[in-house]
A and B are shown apart, each in its own frame.
Chain A
Amino acid sequence: MSGRSPRDEEFSDMARYGPGEPRDSAEQVVASKVRPDSYYGRAVIKEPVWSSPEIPGYLFLGGLAGASSVLAACAQATGNRELARAAKTGATVAIGLSLAALVKDLGRPVRFLNMLRVFKVTSPMNIGSWLVSGYTPTAAVAAASALTGRMPRVGAAASGAAAVLGAGVATYTAALVTDTAVPAWHEGHREMPYLFAGSAASAAGGLGMLAVGQPAAAQAVRFAVLGSAAELTAKSLLLQRLGDVGQPYRSGLAGKLMETAEVLTAAGLTGAVLGGRNRAAAAVSGAALVTASALTRFGIFFAGRTSARDPAYTVAPQQQRLQEAAATGAG
C-alpha cells in the first residue's frame, strides 16, 4: 500500500471527477456535503492484468507482421522480389517475438494450447489464437522460400495465405482490446480497427523503407504514406468520439507516448513524401514510422489502464446515459 490513505485518493478522485472539469478542493467537498461519487475512489472495474511490454509489444508486432505479409504478397505479385523478401522476413521475426510475448503473459503458460480447445466468435482472443496459429507457419514458410529460393510455388501459396490471415492478425487486436469494459478502449470500438490497420501499414511500410533501397522501396513508401495518413485520421476521429473519456490519451505517460508517436508519424510521413527517393532519408523516415507505431500501441495500452483505474471514467458516461434515457422517457 502506498503512503497515501484511501481517503486522500477519494478526495483527489472527487477533485478530478468529471475529466477536464475542475472541482472543489477536498475541504470544500466536505463542507458542501457532496456525496461521494465513488467507493473511496476505488476503481469500479478491474485494470487489465496484461503486462507491459508483452501485450502492447504484441499489439505492435502483430500489426507489423500482419501488414508486412499483406505488403509482401502485393510486392511479389508485381514482381518486387526484393521488398517481398524483406517484408516476409520481417513478418516472421515479428510474429515469432509476438508468440513468445503472448505465452509469457499467460498466468499458466504451459496451458497456452487450451486456447485451441474451442472455437468461439464471442472471444476475440480465441479467434486471434486461431488466426495467429494459421498465420505463423504460413508466414514462416513464405519467408523460408523467399530467402532460400526453394519451392517457389509453395512459397507463393504460403505468402498469399499469410497475406489473408495477416490482414486479420493486424486488425483483430482492435476487437481484442475494445471488447472489454475499459472505457478508453471500449468507447472507441468503431475507430480502433482503422487506427490499428493504419498503424500496422505505417510500420510495415516503414520497415520496408529501412530494409531496401530504391526502386524496390517505392511500394513501401506508398504503403507507409497511405497507412500513416489513415492512422492519423482514425486517431483524431477516435479522440473526437471519446470526448472526456479520451482524457487518458492526452495526459500522463500515455499522453506523452501518443504525442511523441504523432510527431514521429507526421515527420516520417513528411520524410517519406519528400525524401522517399533518398536512401538515407527514407531509412530515417521508415525508422520514425516503425517507432511511432510502437509508441501508439503502448500509448493506447496505458491510456486504457488509466481509464480503468479511475472510477470517474466508468461512472460518468453511465450516469450521463441514464440521464439521457430519463430525459427521453420523460419527454
Chain B
Amino acid sequence: MSTAADVTAAGLDPAALAGYEGHPPRMGFFTDTSVCIGCKACEVACKEWNSVPEDGLQLTGMSYDNSVSLNASTWRHVAFIEQIGHGPPDATADGAHSVDGAVDAAQPDAPRWLMASDVCKHCTEAACLDVCPTGALIRTEFGTVVVQDDICNGCGYCVPACPFGVIGRRESDGGAHKCTLCYDRLGDGLTPACAKACPTESIQFGPVDELRERAQQRVSELHENGTDSARLYLQDPGDGIGGGGAFFLLLDEPEVYGLPPDPVVTTRDLPRMWRHVATAAGGLAATAVAACLGWRGSQR
C-alpha cells in the first residue's frame, strides 16, 4: 500500500513501495532521439558488458536496422525510420524540416531519417513484475526492474504482459531476459554501458527527477528552434504506467517508432478481473446446484 511518503509530486516512488528504506535516488535513462546518429554503440556496449548472446545475423531490409526489436538477447535496439518524401508532420507546404529540425525551403521533399535507441522502460507500474509468478522479477533499490536469472522458470507470463514488447524468453536457456539498467555497474557507481558508449549523449543516465527536468528543457529548446514535432514520451508520472524510469524525446508519433501511443499496465484492471472471476466461479457453483436440485434417482 502506498503511504503519503511514497507519493510525491514526481509520482510513485517504486523502490519505497517495494520496501526499501533509505534507498538511493531512482535512476533511469533519458533517450533524446533528436541527437541519435544510429551508430549502434549502445547495442554493442550492452551486448559486451552483459554477455548477451548473438541472436540472429540477417539483413532485414528495414533501413539500417538488423536487430529488429528488443528481445531476450537485444536489450538496446536502434530503430531507423526513413521518411522519404513524407516530411515531418508539422512541415508546411512550402518547406520540410531537415533532421535537426531546421526548415529547408529549397527541398520540400527532403527525406527525414529518424533514429532512436529503444530500451526497457523500467515502468513505475511494471506489468512484467506484477504478473511474474515466481518472484524472479524484482524492483531494485534504484527503482529499476530486473530478472533474477536463478529464479526464473521460463513460464513466459511476463512476455505478453509487457505493453512495449520488451522482455522475451531466450531459446537457448529457456529463461526471460531484459535490460537490467546495468544493475551491477550501478552498484559500483558506474554509468550503464549503453549511456557510457553513446557518443552524442543521446542516451543520458542519471536520477529520474533530474532527467525529467533536463528532458523538459530540451523539448522546449527544440520547440523554440522550430521543431514542433518534438515530444516527450513516458516522462509523465500520470500516464498509464506511472511514468517510465526510462523515457524518450521523439520527433514523431510513438507508433512510428514501434512504441504504443497510450500504454496502460494490464494489472490496473486486475482487481476488476478478480471480481468477475469470483462472480463467475460463484455462478458455476450455483449452476451446478440448480442442475442437481430436485433430482430423484428413480425418475425416468
Residue ranges of A at the interface with B (Cβ–Cβ < 8 Å): 1, 5-7, 33, 35-40, 42-50, 66-67, 70-71, 73-75, 77-80, 105-109, 111-112, 114-115, 117-118, 120-126, 128-129, 163, 167-168, 170-172, 174-175, 178-182, 186, 189-190, 192-194, 196-197, 200-201, 205, 214-216, 218-220, 222-223, 226-227, 230, 277, 304, 308, 311, 314-315, 318-319, 321-322
Contacts and interface: CB of A to CB of B under 8 A. Distances in A.
28 contacts: A6-B60, A33-B87, A36-B256, A39-B81, A42-B258, A46-B160, A47-B160, A48-B160, A49-B156, A74-B288, A79-B295, A107-B155, A108-B152, A111-B152, A114-B153, A117-B134, A122-B131, A124-B131, A171-B284, A186-B266, A194-B280, A197-B281, A220-B291, A222-B291, A223-B291, A226-B287, A315-B261, A318-B263
A73 B288 contact: yes
A35 B283 CA distance: 49
Contact of A120 (B133, B276, B297): B133
A227 B287 contact: yes
Interface of B: 58, 60-62, 65, 68-69, 79, 81, 83, 85-87, 89, 127, 130-136, 151-157, 159-170, 173-176, 252-253, 255-263, 266-267, 269-270, 272-274, 276-277, 279-285, 287-293, 295-300
Contacts of A45: 160, 162-165, 260
Query: Chain B contact residues: over half helix, strand or loop, or mixed?
Result: loop
B65 to A, nearest CB: 8
Nearest to B61: A5
A140 B70 CA distance: 44
Given A48-B159, A108-B174, A227-B287, A80 B297 contact: yes
B25 to A, nearest CB: 25
B36 to A, nearest CB: 15
Contacts of B291: 71, 74, 205, 219-220, 222-223, 226
Contact of B257 (A7, A39, A49, A121): A39
A312 B113 CA distance: 23
Given A71-B292, A107-B169, A179-B273, 6 more contacts: A35-B89, A78-B292, A107-B153, A115-B134, A197-B280, A200-B284
Of A35, A123, A200, A201, chain B has the most CB atoms within 10 Å of the CB of A123
Contacts of B285: 70, 163, 167
A114 B136 contact: yes
A31 B222 CA distance: 30
A111 B60 contact: no
A322 B262 contact: yes
Contact of B153 (A74, A108, A171): A108
A19 to B, nearest CB: 15
Contact of B255 (A38, A75, A218): A38
Nearest to B60: A6
Contacts of A67: 284, 288
A45 to B, nearest CB: 4
Contact of B288 (A35, A37, A43, A223): A223
B159 A193 contact: no
Given A42-B68, A107-B154, A179 B161 contact: yes
B295 A106 contact: no
Contact of A122 (B130, B252, B277, B293): B130
